[in-house]
Every structure is written in structure tokens, then in C-alpha cells.
Amino acid sequence: MEHVKRYHSLSLMVNNKELLVEGPITGSYLASLRFDEGLKAFRIPEQQHEALIEIADLPEGRIIIAREGDLVLGYVTFLHPDPLERWSQAQLPDLLELGAIEISHKVRAGGVGKKLLEVAFLDDAMEDYVIITTEYYWHWDLKGTGLDVWQYRKVMEKVMGSAGLSWMATDDPEICSHPANCLMAKIGKRVPPETVVAFDAMRFQNRFLY
């Protein structure tokens, strides 16, 4: 499968900062930008910057960023699922995982998360993919926001739902281990039925139990 990546951009104002939201971008371009110290939800900022540079240059990898000047203040990633996760079992070339989304505290709750997804889905190539995201409450910044798990889950549903991702059932044990965890997905318009069948088979692997 050829992974077509078409660049799009939109701007928005948050807390008196004029942000440009753009992507998919290349690794070398991302390497030329500064990475905000507030982007530390998943790794220390330097390491996360490096990880995103690598993802940007993967054949299927897509990185969309929000930046003020040369300072990256938010990002979202799309890539094939981790080989250790069940979502990679069928090795579907047309399945991408929204692996991480993060916005710096400086511009949170100002619409940047939703804008990142809007720009990501401006590329018509996204209609060729099943896009999934696995929401685990232990990845959420409950401490930083003061939200409880259900309030945070609502925020994630709003962000993901703005791009058309919706809740999908699964018997994945990690997802089922807490009721606030969930799988969300969007099946692109041109995704063939074989991919949908293979995706459904990955969602449910313990049918004999029921």
C-alpha cells in the first residue's frame, strides 16, 4: 500500500498565541523546531521529540503539530500499532493507531486538540484507513487537570469524536480492565470489507466465552 501524505494547515488563536496547526510533516522539519518543555505526558520532552521525528519518517507515520513560531506546543501521532498489541496481529497495512495526542499546559482546553485532528483528517488519504485509538486511563493527566476518570473520558470522547472516531466494543483484556478505558475507531469510506472483517476479528478473540 502506498501511504499518501498530503500537507494541510490551519491557524487558531489560543491565550493570545497565534498557532499554526500543520502536517503531516517530515522528520527533518520537526528536528528543526523547538519542543515545548510542557510536552512531558509520555516521555521527557527531548526523548518525545526524538520519537516523533522517527515516526514522521516511517512510511505510514503521520505527525501533525501545533506550533507558535518555531516552538511545538502540541502534536498527534498516527502509525501502525505496536507489534506487542493485538491490533497488529492481522498486519493490516491500512490500519493506523492514533498513538498519542498531547497539548502543552500553556494552550490546553483552547481547541488545539480538536484542531490537530481536524487538520489530520483534511487529508482525503485518511479515508483509506481504519484509524483506532486505545484509551487507557493511566495515560491521562488526571493529576494535572484535576478531572476524574469519567470527566477525562468525556474530554477524550469530545476530542476523538470531533474527527468522527466513535466507541467500539472489544474484549481486549487491557481495555476491559477498567470501565473508563475504551477503544475508539473510524473506518474510512474506501476501506475494503476484508479489512473491516479482519479488524472485527481482532476486536473479539474470546467469543467462545459467551
Ligand X SMILES: CC(=O)SCCNC(=O)CCNC(=O)[C@H](O)C(C)(C)COP(=O)(O)OP(=O)(O)OC[C@H]1O[C@@H](n2cnc3c(N)ncnc32)[C@H](O)[C@@H]1OP(=O)(O)O
Contact positions vs ligand X (CB under 6 A): 41, 98, 100-103, 108-114, 133, 135, 139-141, 145, 147, 155, 158-159
Strand blocks (E) in the chain? 8-14, 17-23, 34-35, 62-68, 71-79, 95-103, 130-135, 166-168, 182-187
Question: What's the grid cell of residue 12?
Answer: 487558531
Residue nearest to ligand X (CB): 113
Closer Cβ to ligand X, 100 or 191, answer by number = 100
Closer Cβ to ligand X, 96 or 101, answer by number = 101
Minimum CB–partner distance for residue 4 and ligand X (Å): 23
Minimum CB–partner distance for residue 125 and ligand X (Å): 21
Closer Cβ to ligand X, 78 or 199, answer by number = 78
Please state, in angstroms and as integers, the Cα–Cα distance from residue 22 to each residue in 27, 90, 107, 119, 129, following that order. 13, 31, 16, 7, 20
Task: Give the containing element (helix H, strand E) for 69.
Answer: none
Phi, psi of 198 (to 5 degrees): -65, -35
Minimum CB–partner distance for residue 205 and ligand X (Å): 22
Minimum CB–partner distance for residue 38 and ligand X (Å): 9
Closer Cβ to ligand X, 22 or 135, answer by number = 135
Minimum CB–partner distance for residue 99 and ligand X (Å): 6
d(CA 112, CA 152): 16
Closer Cβ to ligand X, 45 or 110, answer by number = 110
Q: Residue 9: CB partners within 8 Å, gap ≥ 6?
A: 20, 21, 22, 23, 119
25 in Cβ contact with 146 (< 8 Å): no
